[in-house]
Amino acid sequence: MVLQNLLSPPVLFFVLGMVAVLLRSDLEIPAPLPKLFSLYLLLVIGFKGGVELQHSGISQQVLLTIGAAVLMSLLVPLSSYWILRRRLDAFNAAALAAAYGSISAVTFITAESFLDTSQLPYDGFMVAALALMESPAIIVGLLLVRALAPRAGDGGEKTVGGWGSVLHEAFLNSSVLLLIGSLLIGLLSSAFSPAALAKMEPFSGGLFYGALSFFLLDMGIVAAQRLQDLLRAGIFLVGFALLAPLAHALVGLGISRLLGLPQGDALLFMVLCASASYIAVPAAMRMSIPQANPSLYLSSALGLTFPFNVVIGIPLYMALVQRLIPILP
């Protein structure tokens, strides 16, 4: 299964990007393109999720799963902060905790792509969980700084942005807005304009896998650049970036089993718990906790946790799912 994942085009392109940096190649993707592709991926994943959510409906299982996902995005920052505070100051610990409580949409999309290749079904409502897990961790990170930084003796001004701008950034940042907006558009289109879905198909279906592969090529380049920064940050952070996703994935596995999720959804739930944000959270942290060092929270989330999840984590979590989650009839 690891080999099947490793030898899939998205992961191979990701590795190619990393290799290009390590070999000091001049391979470079012009800046507007990764942004364009990331918006495209978010739009499509939201739209498809909305269509599937309309088909499956909103059941008790859906609400429980989404509720559990939001709860995890509140609890993970708390436990992460408690661990990180042993070596880092309150500002950096809170920013990192927020990053690990939030999610990586690209890891989620890669996991969906892995499930598609493995022909394992999954439900569209998991996209709603993805969208709703982005923001709570940002709020928890800020609350941690406001509540604990003075007692921790870090001094100085704690946060600069007022709560209005922080909440605006947490709930209306481009990735959350696009995901939720596309989900609603998919839901409404599927209900009231099903004929339009076929017209969207070349854009939302045929192009998707290639776009993901191309985007992951760029992410490989960026991840390898950040990895070099992370190695300079020390062994504690390297260990956290590798062990935290494993621990969070295991908790996710336990919750999936409790909720009775099917295998595909269980894998996605684990990936949501295990991944760390490097899109929504860094922007919010730069704005609201400027005292935190971006090279720490960006490098650990992007330089190590992201590659680990994409290359090793997803097949590893799937192996655990297959061992511990029964196949539903």
Partner 1 sequence: MKRLDLIIPELELERLRRVLRRAGVPGYSVIRHVTGYGAAGEVSEGLEVSGTGANAHVLVFCAPALLESLRVELRQLLGTYGGVAYVGDAEPL
Contacting residues toward partner 1, per CB under 8 A: 31-32, 34-35, 38, 157, 160, 173-174, 218, 221-222, 225, 229, 278-279, 282-283, 286-287, 290, 294-295, 298
Cα within 13 Å of Cα(276), Cβ side: 35
**What is the distance between the alpha carbons of residues 115 and 125, in angstroms, rounded to a whole number?**
15
Name the minimum Å distance from CB 285 to partner 1.
9
**CB of 269 or CB of 278, closer to partner 1:** 278
Length of the chain: 329
Name the minimum Å distance from CB 166 to partner 1.
13
**CB of 190 or CB of 293, closer to partner 1:** 293
Residue-wise DSSP of 216-282: HHHHHHHHHHHHHHHHHH-HHHHHHHHHHHHHHHHHHHHHHHHHT--HHHHHHHHHHHH---SSHHH
**CB of 44 or CB of 221, closer to partner 1:** 221
Residue the block writes with tokens 């621990």: 247
**What is the distance between the alpha carbons of residues 269 and 122, in angstroms, rounded to a whole number?**
11
Angle, helices 125-133/263-274, rounded to nearest 10 degrees: 10
Name the minimum Å distance from CB 279 to partner 1.
5
Cα within 13 Å of Cα(261), Cβ side: 30
**CB of 33 or CB of 319, closer to partner 1:** 33
Name the minimum Å distance from CB 257 to partner 1.
34
Name the minimum Å distance from CB 315 to partner 1.
25
**CB of 116 or CB of 154, closer to partner 1:** 154
